[in-house]
Amino acid sequence: MALSAALLAVAGELTQRIHDGVVARGFEGLRPAHGFAFARLAPDGATVTDLAGHLGVTKQAASQLVDEIVRKGYAERRPHPEDARARLVVLTERGWACTRAAEEAAADAVRAWGDALGEGEMRTLLEQLARIAPNGPIRPAW
């Protein structure tokens, strides 16, 4: 199996497992793409335009996505402290809980790999991936 195919297969399965894990922990009505939005919102919140840039979609699409997660109680829009035009989208407590659930699910998947690789190889795998990973935003590509 080619390196690129193996990588895509592993990534696809990881995405699926994270999604399943999030659902299993009681957070429904979310699609994998939302996870990338949560990851951007998690630290300190973000504006719609910023989110759009990171997701690689138009700001209208990002705004629509924000509507959805706001309606479902995962985030809320606040006035931006420094720019009256902008609105700062921040996670609610439920949004944080969902983010933690995703991290747990990801950790579970990684742990399963650890069983096949062992601790030392896991470290080298992380180290190698980190060295070839791009700096930019993580987009739900393909």
Partner DNA sequence: ACGAATTGGTCAAGCGGCTTGACCATAACT
Partner DNA sequence: AGTTATGGTCAAGCCGCTTGACCAATTCGT
Residue 18 and residue 105 in contact, taking contact as beta carbons nearer than 8 Å = yes
- For DNA (CB under 7 A), the number of binding residues is 25
- Cβ proximity to DNA: between 23 and 61 the closer is 61
Q: How far is the CB of 125 from DNA (least distance, A)?
A: 30
60 binds DNA (CB under 7 A): yes
If binding is defined by CB under 7 A, does position 48 make contact with DNA? yes
Nearest to 37 by CA among 12, 18, 63, 17: 63
Residue 139: partners with Cβ closer than 8 Å, 6 or more residues away = 36, 54, 55, 56
Task: Examine residue 2 and tell whether it contacts DNA (CB under 7 A).
Answer: no
Query: 16 contacts which partner out of DNA, a second copy, none, CB within 5 to 8 A by kind?
Result: a second copy
Interaction between residue 122 and a second copy (CB under 8 A) = yes
Choosing among a second copy, DNA, none, which partner's interface includes residue 87 (Cβ < 5 to 8 Å by kind)? DNA
The answer to whether 51 and 40 have CB atoms below 8 angstroms apart is yes
